[in-house]
Structure 1
Amino acid sequence: MQLACMRSLSEIEISRLSNEIPKLVGEQIVIFRKLKNLTQTELAEMVGKDRQYLYKIEKGRVTPNVTTLTILAKALNISLSELFGNIKI
């Protein structure tokens, strides 16, 4: 990638994305969890996490790492592309 094609992000934009993306990811997890007819407790147990932690992920209150997102996607039988597919930044 050429540097000429890249642009700097403002601190405001970085802050906005840092707040918005976890919420959008959480919303996607809720959608796919409900499509699979799973409760928070069931999905949390499937991925070895506490239900409260899953709740915080779904509400965008915590930012899960890539490994946790991959495990959640696998449990939901979706790809990471599907998990992020409807997120527009």
Structure 2
Amino acid sequence: MQSLPETDISKLSNEIPKLVGEQIVIFRKLRSLTQTELAVMVGKDRQYLYKIEKGRVTPNIVTLSIIASALKITLSELFENIKV
């Protein structure tokens, strides 16, 4: 089995957090929630949520599940429109 080239791994590592963050913003706005409101709902501070939305940090799958739950969506829905 051949591993992915380092350039592909690097590209995915940079792009996916940004794309996930963009999806969180879309769903948050659809629910008419502020960053602060969503942050409180998921037990995180607003600055951390801001960094997630901007793709500056990569949240773990548990955090993404909690955010999806707070947004009343599934993880599948969160990732549905992410094309890499």
> Shorter-chain-normalised TM-score: which range?
over 0.9
Cα deviation for residue 85 of structure 1 reads 0.2
Which 4+ stretches in 1 moved above 6 angstroms? none
Q: Which residue of 2 aligns with 1:71?
A: 66
In 2, Cα distance between equivalents of 1:47 and 1:14? 29
Taking structure 2 as the reference length, the TM-score comes to 0.97
In 1, Cα distance between equivalents of 2:4 and 2:26? 30
Deviations 1:30-73 (A, max 9, x none): 00000000000000000000000000000000000000000000
Q: CA-atom RMSD, angstroms?
A: 0.8
Q: Please list every run of 5 or more consecutive structure 1 residues that lacks an aligned counterpart in the other structure.
A: none
In 1, Cα distance between equivalents of 2:42 and 2:9? 30
In 1, Cα distance between equivalents of 2:78 and 2:39? 17
Cα deviation for residue 15 of structure 1 reads 0.2
Counterpart of 2:81 (choices 41, 65, 86) is 86
Taking structure 1 as the reference length, the TM-score comes to 0.92
Query: What secondary structure is seen at the aligned counterpart in 2 of 1:8?
Result: coil
Counterpart of 1:17 (choices 12, 17, 20) is 12
Q: Aligned pairs, how many? A: 84
Task: Kindly provide the amino acid, as one letter, of the partner of residue 50 in structure 2.
Answer: Y
